Structure formats: structure tokens, C-alpha cells
Structure 1
Amino acid sequence: MGLAALMGLAACAAGERTPGPAAPAVRLAPSAPPAPSAAPETVAPAAAPSGELDVITYTHVPAGLPADPGPASLDPLTEGLHPTRRLVLYDAPGGEPRAYLPPTIRGVTVVVPIVATRPGWSAVLLPSVNRRIGWLPDHGWQARELTDQVVVRRGDRTLTWLRAGVPRKAWSVAIGTARTPTPLGRTFVLGRTGTRGSHYAGLDALVLGAVPDDRDAVAPGLRDAHTGIHAWYRKSVFGHAASNGCVRMPREAQRTLLDNLAAGTPITVVD
């Protein structure tokens, strides 16, 4: 019944001479005011560069980009991005433009892991520099799902491959010496390259975004090189600190990584 019909019945009952039990008074509680909706977070604007910026290359990254906030974090990074054009990198959401992130480096498609987000912005790990990030506005790039992860433990001389956060396989490996250590922190698979000579067991190497922490400590021919993961012909090195910074793998282990790891796969090196 509607509200008007209920009021009519009440009036008829009041006109009857035969008394009946008094109906209890009913008071309607005032309706609660609607809960205020949360104000949307403000998206920091992206300033246009006031001058020409350097482009990140295989060997060079401009200064002024912030440190990775979680270089030793083992939390899975599940999303990456591929720039569809040259994008401006900022030092913070709405901060200063610092460099351009290109869609390719030496012909390799760039996919970088996302490590943090803010409204309208995403922070990514950078290639060609260690433990640095840059912020990108949320346009001009394509999202890429990242399902795999690699953890290298320098103390144990082990490499573990995980998928969806679950360890799949682990191997004893060789890491960098005390003079040329495998760089600590989070990085990622930049791409893969062919190798020459039987030392690499005839398999491609995975090139990482990381570079030597001390370029002067390695041989002159390696100072502009990136850290890599590659097969090695001699089993006696596994479990030891024996390389110029790269991770040396058993042949079949390297083949497994090549078959499964895509560009952008996060790699974390910890002690």
C-alpha cells in the first residue's frame, strides 16, 4: 500500500465507537545523509620539456633520475610497458623532465617493468643504469603482462626462476668477482644477443638493463657492456664468484631461460 492509503485506514479506525487496543506510536527515524564520496585524487600535470633532452641509449643515461625505492624487493612485478614512441621521463609525478625513453635500443624493443603508480603516472625501471627509475604519464605506451621473475642470490651463488610468484627451477651459477661484482638490485631482461665461441655453449645470452657498477674495474672492451646471463662451458665455475659481473649458467639452464623469459622480465640480485 502507498502512504496515502495507510493514512486513510487510520482515520476510519479513529471514527469507530468500539475501542480497540491503542496502536503503538511509530516514529520514522530521519534518513541518514548520503556518505560523501571520496574526492578523486589530483593527477599531477606533465610539464613539457623547456629544452632538448638526452635520449637513453645503450651506454648513456642522463643524471637527475631518482633511485629505485625498493631495489632489494622480491615482490613480483606483474606489469610492464612498451613505449610506442619516444617518451619524456620525469623525476617525479608532475616533476622535472629529465630524459627520453625510446621505443627501441639498438633495434631491441624496449619493455620496462612498472614498480610504482600514482594517479595518471607510472614509475619504471630504467635500462643502462643501475637502481634508477623514471616516471611516465599514463599515455603513449602499451601495457605488457609480466609473468616471470628471476632472483639471483650472490651469497648462495644461485639463480631461481619463478612464474606467477611460484619457484619453477633453481640452479647453482657463477657470479661476478669481488672486483667486478654482479650489480645488486632490481633490473630486467632488455633483450637477447648471439654469442661467439664455445665458451658460451653455442647459446644466446640474455642482456640485462644493468651495467657494471665500476666500469673502470672491468676490461676496456667491457666498459660499455651490459650485465648478462649466459651459458658457460666449464662446470667447475658454478657456485663461485668467477665472472666480470655476468651470471654464468649451465647449458640446459640457459636454454630454459631462453625458452621462457620475455623482454621486461624482472631480475633481482640480492646478497
Structure 2
Amino acid sequence: MPTITYTQAATGFPADPDQASTTALTEGLQLAAKSPVYDAPGGQARAYLTPQISGVDLVMPIVARRDGWVAVLLPSINRSVGWLPAGGWTTRPLRDQLVVRRSAFTLTWLRDGVTQQTWTVTIGAPSTPTPLGRTFVLGRSSLPSKVYAGLDVLALGAVPDDKNAVDEGLYDAHTGIHAWYRNEFGYKKSNGCVRMPPAAQKVLLDQVASGTSVIVLP
């Protein structure tokens, strides 16, 4: 079976049944060791997941529980869930949620269900739209380009819906939330990432942990 990594996905997993739900996901799951992930409770194992991806602890939001099994949002596979049996993992509380509304060009940060701040952002261009549905903060990375205003990027579990449409250097990249060095927000201009004012990105980097759920709405 394949192992899901930053650049390698897997097939055969069910679609997230609540792709447009804004209900806060309040528990994250972290594996203790490499584990198979299934397409249903008691179903078929489709791939392996590991405790880390690219050196970052993998924390996946729990979206459902059934007969002792839990369903989590999967990394590197858009709008899909995988099932894990009991044991071999721990949970941690998730207090935050990020809601992106493409039509309004906004990102809203909520904590414990209460809106903290809303910012005007730039989203994916028509040919490379920001992927819709539920995903999560995979981790943070430092990129050398000055366009990120010297701030880390929050990499998401989501990937471009059409990898062939993005710039060549971003083919294996994940969708991200990052600062932008120019004061140009409220547009459809990116390769799918959410571009933030630098001051807003600093807030998210200070406050938001890996595993935080992100919902992208039309």
C-alpha cells in the first residue's frame, strides 16, 4: 500500500460527507506509529499514515466516530476522509477554526466558536481556484522568497485541484495561507493560496496550531 506523504496521495477513500460544514472540529488525532487508514469502519485499508509529514507532527481533525472507529480529514487528498480503529493514537483539543469565503475575499479566525478577527485576503485565480471544502493546518514552513514578507507559510492539507494549472515550481506544493509583500487584497490572483496582510499572518502564526480546521466556502 502507498504511504500518504506531502507529495504522494492515495485513492479509494470516501468523500467528506460534510464538505461545506462550518461546525467547529474540536479534536485532533495524532498517530503513535505508522498505521493503516481505512475506507470505512471495518473496511479496506487503502494507505498508510505516519506520525509526521516532512518532519512536521501530523495532527488531523476528527470529523466522525462510529463503532469505536474515528474518521479524520486526510492530508494531500482534497475533501476526503479516512477511518482509523481504536488505539495507536492520541487526541488533542482544537480551539481554533479558519473560515475562508471566496466570494467575499475574507478569512475569519474563530476561537471556541467566537469570531476573533476577519481580514480581506486574495484567493486563487479563476484558473487556479483556492480548493473548496474542509481541510486543516498541516504545519508551517519558511520559504526564502521576499514575496512572503519574511514570514512563515501555513501549509494546509489541501492541494491544487488541478496541479497542471499552477506554476511549474508549485506542482508538488500544498495550498497555503501566507503573507504577501504587496498591499493588494480582495482579488483572485494567486495559484490557489490565501494571501494575507503581513500583520494578519503574524496573528495566525502566533495563535493557530497544527490540526486547526480550515473551511473554504464559495
Measured against the shorter chain, the TM-score band is over 0.9
In 2, Cα distance between the equivalents of 1:204 and 1:121?
35
User: Which of the numbers 238, 242, 245 marks the counterpart of 2:192?
Assistant: 245
| Pair 1:199-2:147 in alignment | yes
List per-residue Cα deviations over 1:227-255 (Å, max 9, x = no partner). Answer: 0000001112x011110000000011000
Match in the other structure for 2:182: 234
List per-residue Cα deviations over 1:134-178 (Å, max 9, x = no partner). Answer: 000011001010000000000000000000011000000000000
Provide the secondary structure at the position in 2 that maps to 1:235: coil
In 1, Cα distance between the equivalents of 2:5 and 2:120?
32
The structure where strand makes up a greater share of residues is 2
- TM-score (structure 1 length as normaliser): 0.80
In 1, Cα distance between the equivalents of 2:92 and 2:9?
23
In 1, Cα distance between the equivalents of 2:174 and 2:48?
20
Match in the other structure for 2:164: 216
Match in the other structure for 1:62: 10
| Pair 1:270-2:217 in alignment | yes
User: Which of the numbers 124, 131, 142 marks the counterpart of 2:90?
Assistant: 142
User: Which of the numbers 78, 83, 107 marks the counterpart of 1:159?
Assistant: 107
Match in the other structure for 1:258: 205
User: Match for 1:235: what amino acid?
Assistant: N
Computing the radius of gyration over CA atoms, which structure comes out larger, 1 or 2?
A: 1
In the TM superposition, what is the alpha-carbon distance from 1:61 to its structure 2 partner? 1.6
Match in the other structure for 1:86: 34
Provide the secondary structure at the position in 1 that maps to 2:82: strand
In 1, Cα distance between the equivalents of 2:145 and 2:125?
22
In the TM superposition, what is the alpha-carbon distance from 1:197 to its structure 2 partner? 2.7
Match in the other structure for 1:179: 127
User: Match for 1:140: what amino acid?
Assistant: G
Q: Is the 8 A contact 2:106 2:118 kept in 1?
A: yes
In the TM superposition, what is the alpha-carbon distance from 1:219 to its structure 2 partner? 1.5
In 1, Cα distance between the equivalents of 2:171 and 2:20?
25
Q: Is the 8 A contact 2:10 2:77 kept in 1?
A: no
In 2, Cα distance between the equivalents of 1:160 and 1:141?
30
In the TM superposition, what is the alpha-carbon distance from 1:198 to its structure 2 partner? 2.2
User: Match for 1:247: what amino acid?
Assistant: V
State how many pairs are aligned: 218
Give the root-mean-square deviation of aligned CA atoms: 0.7
In 2, Cα distance between the equivalents of 1:138 and 1:174?
41
- TM-score (structure 2 length as normaliser): 0.99
In 2, Cα distance between the equivalents of 1:195 and 1:223?
16
User: Match for 1:81: what amino acid?
Assistant: L
List per-residue Cα deviations over 1:38-72 (Å, max 9, x = no partner). Answer: xxxxxxxxxxxxxxx21101111211011001011
The ranges of structure 1 where at least 4 consecutive aligned residues each deviate by more than 4 angstroms after the TM superposition are: none
Match in the other structure for 1:9: none
Higher RCO structure, 1 or 2 (CA under 8 Å, sep 6+): 2
In 2, Cα distance between the equivalents of 1:228 and 1:62?
21
